[in-house]
Amino acid sequence: MTTTEPPDRAPSRGLAAAWSRAAGALARPVDIAWLAAFRALFGLTMCVSMARFIAYGWIDELFVKPSFHFKYWGFAWVEPLPPAGMHALFWALGALALAIALGLMFRVAAPLFVVGFTYLQVIDVTTYLNHYYLASLLGLLLAVSPAHRAWSVDALFSRRRERSVPAAWLYLFRFQVGVVYTFAGLAKAHGDWLLHAQPLRIWLGSRTDMPVLGPLFTHPWAAPLMSWAGFLFDTSIVWLLLVRRLRPFAYVAVILFHAVTRALFPIGMFPVIMVLSALVFFPPTWPGWLVARARALLGHGSAGGHGSAGEQPALAGDLAASPAAPPARRLRALGLALGAAYCAVQLALPLRFLAYGGNVRWHEQGMRFSWRVMVREKNGSVTFIVRNTQTGRTWHVSPREYLTRQQEREMAGQPDLILQLSRHIRGDFERRGRGPVEVRADALVSLNGRRIARLIDPGVDLASVRDGIAPASYILPGPKEPPPHLRPL
């Protein structure tokens, strides 16, 4: 007698087999050299970044000088340290970054750096930059990885030295870098960027005095050409880096692209971070191959040393995968689940703008943490109208009474920051005995060269509006017309 398997069990067995194959591929050992090299390069980059803050006086400008700080939703309790404490923190972060590069007390240094550097970003929303956010994410991935088990001081003094790591780490770092490029490209898929070459047309128009490149920016085709080049680069570079034969040429394109953007625009360490991050698309053995090539050029050995420029070969002996004990399997399953959750969050954050509708570059809801790099130019001015509800007396208040110039520039085009300052102004007036008051905003903003339009409903008492993640009704719809005096391609 023969029996047949119940139909409902067949799909479950197929899913189990697929999961087993996926888990096996993620557990496959690969050379640890790529992770150790990335750790060293990341640590050195962040050490230089902290030194720049100290040398250029940005600590005082961004964290000490402001008397009011804009808060992220849910983080109103975060406050800056006293001036001496802020300066000490940057010196400490520089030392921790150097320790990460050296692999010195890595399990302590890396988490402390991530916490400290993330704390800096949470102090004030107006300091938000995409590459600061990316640095926190890369630091977090490094902190939980075994990046210190090779090419490090820790490995030098430890009996536990690793030659391999599970391939899951390589795929996770590639995923993170791929998310940045992909969503940066998708964020440019709109009429302003592709049809009207905005905001590049505005920015390049202010760079015509640059040597060599400046005169080229005066041509009408310059902005459209560079807009399309930026869009195509961001949307395709990850796929080109994944192709072995195209990878060297793609990496040269990465270097050239970020060198040009760094020369044209004040975007800090972002180009450096992206150029170094793109190295994760090379075979895991690339550091060993590079060392062997350098030794060969110096006449100290053969170029065919450990490592290869080709794809990662199968590892044998102690690097081969072996069946895991039940506790190890459970730990591995937990790690895979956490990795999958991390990836889901990284996809959900850039896509959350879909829940708000409208033009995200105008209303800004879903703008941060979504890799919308350099897709809008906003200029505006805000005047707050404060009215005593009992006497009817009215005051016109300039943001400069409360903000630094940098804070005011950032606040002018971001509705949630206008809302925060409105509530702060109400509190200030009531503390001075001028309350109770209503606070309204006359916010006039231009997006990507369009005519000035009102961003905030002037009839809404912003001081009575509660901040949150729900769609904001106090934000007026953005302008529908394209930027003026510009013809589509």
Residue 24: predicted pLDDT: 78
At 453, phi and psi to the nearest 5? -140, 160
Q: Which residues contact 488 (CB under 8 A, 6 or more apart)?
A: 191, 195, 196, 482
Residue 172 has pLDDT above 90, yes or no: yes
Residue 441's H or E segment, with its range, is strand 437-447
d(C-alpha 5, C-alpha 10), whole Å = 7
141 contacts 173 by C-beta, under 8 angstroms: yes
Picking from 156-165, 167-176, 252-261, 414-423, which range would have the lowest pLDDT averaged per residue? 156-165
d(C-alpha 284, C-alpha 309), whole Å = 9
Q: Which residues contact 29 (CB under 8 A, 6 or more apart)?
A: 164, 165, 166, 167, 315, 319, 320, 321
d(C-alpha 379, C-alpha 358), whole Å = 19
Choose among 220, 285, 221: nearest CA to 30: 285
Residue 372: predicted pLDDT: 94
386 contacts 397 by C-beta, under 8 angstroms: yes
Residue 10: predicted pLDDT: 61
269 contacts 251 by C-beta, under 8 angstroms: no
Average pLDDT over residues 212-235: 93
Average pLDDT over residues 54-76: 95
Say whether 165 sits in a helix, a strand or coil. strand
Residue 154: predicted pLDDT: 94
Residue 68, classified by CB atoms within 10 Å of its CB into exposed (0-12), middle (13-18) or buried (19+), is: middle
The pLDDT-based confidence of 356 (bands split at 50, 70, 90) is very high
Q: Which residues contact 32 (CB under 8 A, 6 or more apart)?
A: 146, 149, 150, 162, 163, 164, 165, 284
d(C-alpha 366, C-alpha 157), whole Å = 47
Q: Is the alpha carbon torsion for 103, 109, 114, 117 positive or negative?
A: negative
d(C-alpha 133, C-alpha 370), whole Å = 10
Residue 58's H or E segment, with its range, is helix 58-59
d(C-alpha 228, C-alpha 193), whole Å = 8
Q: Which residues contact 332 (CB under 8 A, 6 or more apart)?
A: 23, 27, 324
Residue 145 has pLDDT above 90, yes or no: yes
At 64, phi and psi to the nearest 5? -100, -45
Residue-wise pLDDT tens digits, 369-423: 999 998 999 999 999 999 999 999 999 999 999 999 999 999 999 999 999 999 9
Of residues 201 and 212, more confidence is placed in: 201
Q: pLDDT > 70: what percent of the chain?
A: 89
30 contacts 167 by C-beta, under 8 angstroms: yes
Identity at 297, one-letter amino acid code: L
In the chain, the N- to C-terminal Cα span, in Å, equals 73
Residue 300 DSSP label: S
User: What's the alpha-carbon Rg for the chain, to the nearest Å?
Assistant: 26
Q: Are strands 437-447 and 453-454 parallel, antiparallel or unpaired?
A: antiparallel
Residues found in the chain: 489
Residue 302 has pLDDT above 70, yes or no: no
Residue 308 has pLDDT above 60, yes or no: no
Say whether 145 sits in a helix, a strand or coil. coil
Residue-wise pLDDT tens digits, 89-126: 999 999 999 999 999 999 999 999 999 999 999 999 99
Q: What is the mean pLDDT of the chain?
A: 89
Choose among 275, 227, 151: nearest CA to 488: 227
Average pLDDT over residues 423-446: 95
Residue 301: predicted pLDDT: 58
